Structures are given as structure tokens and as C-alpha cells.
């Protein structure tokens, strides 16, 4: 069994999608459709920068999605395959859930791009710049990371945001609390901790205004049952019902990304082959979580051609 995976924020970089667009008119179509949906030259920003503008959450989120869907469309149309025939499940890390739903036919491309624009703006606006932070706790499992977060909180918000793999957990919350957690982490048995270069404290209760914004945005959107089930971040379980998916997308804004558990649950369900589209972040996490599984990152035309030979 196979799962297609879609990366989250942090996988953006200037130049993303440029080589694929140069090689494939199918990819160019995707980038043009996203540009038209957003009324901006997002692909030019992806290809040429500046990096500071691409890093903005409202740009990074639709850009990462567009890049992943461009890779998928090239696979489907040049390889004459359908996702539903080659994947048993889809999953995405944070914003990657929107990419996964788009890939599986739950959302159309233009709607997905507009939702991610709203999501990025809302997440950025939820907490004033400088008041929130995130830190990666390395060499600690979720329980240890939560204990570090609890010890550092001192009345402020500080909690596990991403349980990525057995050796990497991300905490999120008020800047003061997260900064206290960094030196405490090593004292409490973690290998090390480092502050992440993010503009807001994602996946913690401080994001509630953004969750409210996404509830309003999703209310008016047509979301169809995906062609294959989605493993949801907040439940680490498969879901296909559109009403439930909408509720989970809202909950996801403030909730923990249970990525490690999602991978293990997919393996338990019989998945042995994981294919990450548009990034090189999730496949290494899969290998650290499920060493016996196959995990491939597909970004370039060469990657696409190699994948098509194998599936």
C-alpha cells in the first residue's frame, strides 16, 4: 500500500518550481492557475524571490501547495496515472493537509490557494510579531518535550505543536516561555533545543483567532469526499467525510500535528511505501519513525521519471 505525502511550511525556497515549470507545460498551468486565483505573481516570487517576501506565511503556504500539486499533475498527466489508482491514502503536514485534499479531489486548486492565503494571513495576524515563538526539541520524545514545555510555561502558553518523529518535537507558545524552554531542554534530558525562524507560534492555543477565521472561510467552501482517505493531523486517523474534514481543519490550527503517530497508523494499516511530493522534509521523518518503510521525495523531473518507473 502507498501513501502520498505533502510538506508543510519550512519547505519553501527561492527557485522552487522553476526547473519543473521550465520542463513541463503542465506545471506551468498549475502555477498560472494559482496566480490567477490569488491575483498576484506568486510563481514569480517563488522562482525569483526575494526570500523575505516568500517566507511570509501568506505567500509560503500557497507556494508550497502549488509546488506539490504541480509535481502531482505532471505525474498524473505525463505518466497517465491517477492518484486514486496509485495511492491508498494521502496525508499532509499542517498546510500540507490542504495540498493533500486538493490532490485527492476534495478541493479544487483555486479554492485551495485562496484558503491558504486566508490561513496564512490569519495565522500571522493572530499573534503580534515578537510575542510568540517556536522551538525544536531534539533527542526527546513527545512526553519529554511536553514536560519541558510545562516546566517553562510559568503561567504562559507553551505546548507541543508538532510531534514529527521519535527524535524531533516542536513546541510553541508565548515567546518568553519558549525562550525559557530552550536552556531547560538540555537540563531535562533532551539532546538540544533551538528556536525556529518562524513569524508566529503555530499549532497552539494562541492561534484561536486564526482558527475562527478558517471556520468562517471553510463554511462557504464546497469540500467533497476525497478519492482516498486523508490521515488527519489532529487525530492521526483516516477521514473521508467532508463535514468532519472541515471541523478537523479548523481544529488543526490550534491543535498538535500528530505526524509521528500518523505515520505509524498508516504503517499499521498496511502502508509500506511513502511518496512525498514537492519537498524533501517528510520522507526523512518517515524513515526515522518507520525504518522498514520505503520513503521517497519527488521534486524534480528526474524524480518524477524515477517514480513513474517504480509505480
Average pLDDT over every residue of 48-72: 95
Q: What is the CATH number of domain 2-126+206-310?
A: 3.40.366.10
Other beta carbons less than 10 A from residue 273's beta carbon: 17
Average per-residue pLDDT in the chain?
96
Report yes or no: 40 and 117 within 8 Å, Cβ to Cβ: no
Query: pLDDT tens digits for 126-165?
Result: 999 889 999 999 999 999 999 999 999 999 999 999 999 9
Catalytic (active site) residue 203 = yes
Name the architecture of domain 132-198: 2-Layer Sandwich (3.30)
User: Which position has the grid cell 505526524?
Assistant: 259
Query: pLDDT tens digits for 92-105?
Result: 999 999 999 999 99
Find the catalytic residue in 11, 93, 174, 203: 203
Give the residue ranges of DSSP H helices in the chain.
18-23, 25-38, 42-48, 51-55, 57-79, 83-86, 96-103, 109-126, 142-153, 175-187, 208-219, 242-254, 259-268, 282-289, 301-310
Q: Where are the domains of the chain?
A: 2-126+206-310, 132-198
The pTM score is: 0.96
What pLDDT score was predicted for residue 10? 83
All 3 cell numbers of residue 54?
516568500
Query: Residue 18 and residue 169: Cα distance in Å, rounded?
Result: 32
Find the catalytic residue in 11, 94, 174, 297: 94
What pLDDT score was predicted for residue 174? 97
Amino acid at each position: 500500500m502507498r501513501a502520498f505525502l505533502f510538506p508543510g511550511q519550512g519547505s519553501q525556497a527561492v527557485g522552487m518550481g522553476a526547473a519543473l515549470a521550465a520542463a513541463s507545460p503542465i506545471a506551468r498551468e498549475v502555477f498560472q492557475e494559482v496566480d490567477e486565483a490569488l491575483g498576484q505573481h506568486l510563481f514569480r516570487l517563488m522562482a525569483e524571490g526575494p526570500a523575505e517576501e516568500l517566507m511570509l506565511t501568506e505567500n509560503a503556504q500557497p507556494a508550497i501547495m502549488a509546488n506539490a500539486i504541480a509535481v502531482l499533475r505532471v505525474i498524473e498527466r505525463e505518466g497517465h496515472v491517477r492518484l486514486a489508482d496509485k495511492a491508498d491514502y494521502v496525508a499532509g503536514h499542517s498546510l500540507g493537509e490542504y495540498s493533500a485534499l486538493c490532490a485527492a479531489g476534495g478541493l479544487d486548486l483555486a479554492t485551495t490557494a485562496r484558503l491558504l492565503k486566508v490561513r496564512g494571513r490569519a495565522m500571522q495576524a493572530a499573534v503580534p510579531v515578537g510575542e510568540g515563538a517556536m522551538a525544536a526539541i531534539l533527542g526527546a520524545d513527545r512526553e519529554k518535550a511536553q514536560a519541558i514545555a510545562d516546566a517553562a510555561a510559568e503561567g504562559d502558553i507553551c505546548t507541543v505543536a508538532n510531534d514529527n518523529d521519535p527524535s524531533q518535537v516542536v513546541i510553541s507558545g508565548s515567546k518568553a516561555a519558549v525562550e525559557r524552554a530552550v536552556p531547560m531542554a538540555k537540563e531535562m534530558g533532551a539532546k538540544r533545543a533551538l528556536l525556529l525562524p518562524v513569524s508566529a507560534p503555530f499549532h497552539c492555543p494562541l492561534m484561536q483567532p486564526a482558527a475562527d477565521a478558517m471556520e468562517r472561510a471553510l463554511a462557504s467552501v464546497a469540500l467533497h469526499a476525497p478519492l482516498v482517505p486523508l490521515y488527519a493531523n489532529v487525530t492521526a486517523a483516516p477521514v473521508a467525510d467532508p463535514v468532519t474534514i472541515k471541523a478537523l481543519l479548523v481544529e488543526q490550527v490550534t491543535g498538535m500535528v500528530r505526524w509521528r503517530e500518523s505515520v505509524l497508523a498508516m504503517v499499521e494499516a498496511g502502508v509500506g511505501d511513502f511518496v512525498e511530493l514537492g519537498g524533501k522534509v517528510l520522507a526523512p521523518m518517515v524513515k526515522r519513525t518507520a525504518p522498514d518503510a520505503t520513503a521517497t521525495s519527488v521534486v524534480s523531473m528526474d524524480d518524477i521519471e524515477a517514480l513513474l518507473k517504480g509505480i
